[in-house]
């Protein structure tokens, strides 16, 4: 394996305690996913303290999900947006997931809103757009990936210079890049089927009975291969 990388994790939220108690919070979920890829994490809880200031402090950066919305007027969000803009300016390797994906788009001038189609939950098939990038190694077998979604917000307007690289009918901007150093992904490669089941159970009232049941049914199919393939791609992206 290549030399291990140290990645700064900007933890923007928390997995619900009833679920995290059994499966771990974002730092544990990402460590389980990325540790086998030679990735070590240094976590910054940006809701509880200021974000780091040095874009070169680590080999790369990772932005987590959150139960908050990127457009909420919360005091911790603008400093994180400013850091994301600095990381882009310095071309520091950056991967942003779910809320992080949305916040990066917003920080660069895009727009985030609630999805008109409602919650995206359970396993979705993501269609890759455009040519296979060098970091997509190994390439997908059939031009798509199965990953877990868990969001009611999504990017509805891309910032200038961003390029869509994955989509679904429900989420037309499911992943995008900004230049060679920033990758943003709406679904959750760090979520296992058990984590998704737990979150759907807790949110059943707001997601809706029918959509919750349909999402739960998707979690019984194959999943681990694609989420670990995305973990490899993330590591390749940081290393490129």
Q: What amino acid positions are annotated as catalytic residues?
A: 98, 188, 190
Give CA–CA dist 65/57, Å, rounded.
Answer: 22
Tokens of 199: 């979150």
Cis peptide bond prior to 71, omega within 30° of 0: no
Give CA–CA dist 22/232, Å, rounded.
Answer: 25
Is the CB of residue 95 less than 8 Å from the CB of residue 238?
yes
Residue 173: CA count within 13 A, CB half-sphere: 24
Give CA–CA dist 13/64, Å, rounded.
Answer: 7
Tokens of 102: 């949305």
* Beta bridge pairs of residue 45: 11
Give CA–CA dist 26/67, Å, rounded.
Answer: 12
Give CA–CA dist 27/9, Å, rounded.
Answer: 8
């Amino acid at each position: 394996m290549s030399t291990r990388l140290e990645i700064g994790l900007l933890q923007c939220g928390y997995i619900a305690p009833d679920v995290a108690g059994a499966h771990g919070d974002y730092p544990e979920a990402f460590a389980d996913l990325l540790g086998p890829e030679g990735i070590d994490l240094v976590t910054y809880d940006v809701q509880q303290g200021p974000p780091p200031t040095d874009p070169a402090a680590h080999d790369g950066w990772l932005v987590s999900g959150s139960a908050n919305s990127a457009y909420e007027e919360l005091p911790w969000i603008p400093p994180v947006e400013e850091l994301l803009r600095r990381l882009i300016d310095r071309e520091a390797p950056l991967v942003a997931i779910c809320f992080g994906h949305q916040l990066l788009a917003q920080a660069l001038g895009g727009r985030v809103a609630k999805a008109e189609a409602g919650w995206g939950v359970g396993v979705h098939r993501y269609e890759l757009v455009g040519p296979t990038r060098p970091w997509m190694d190994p390439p997908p077998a059939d031009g798509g990936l199965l990953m877990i979604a868990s969001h009611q917000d999504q990017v509805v307007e891309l910032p200038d210079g961003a390029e869509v690289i994955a989509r679904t009918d429900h989420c037309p901007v499911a992943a995008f890049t900004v230049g060679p150093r920033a990758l943003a992904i709406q679904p959750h490669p760090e979520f296992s089927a058990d984590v998704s089941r737990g979150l759907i159970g807790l949110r059943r009232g707001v997601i809706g009975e029918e959509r919750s049941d349909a999402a739960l049914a998707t979690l019984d199919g194959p999943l681990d291969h694609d989420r670990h393939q995305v973990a490899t791609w993330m590591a390749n992206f940081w290393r490129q």
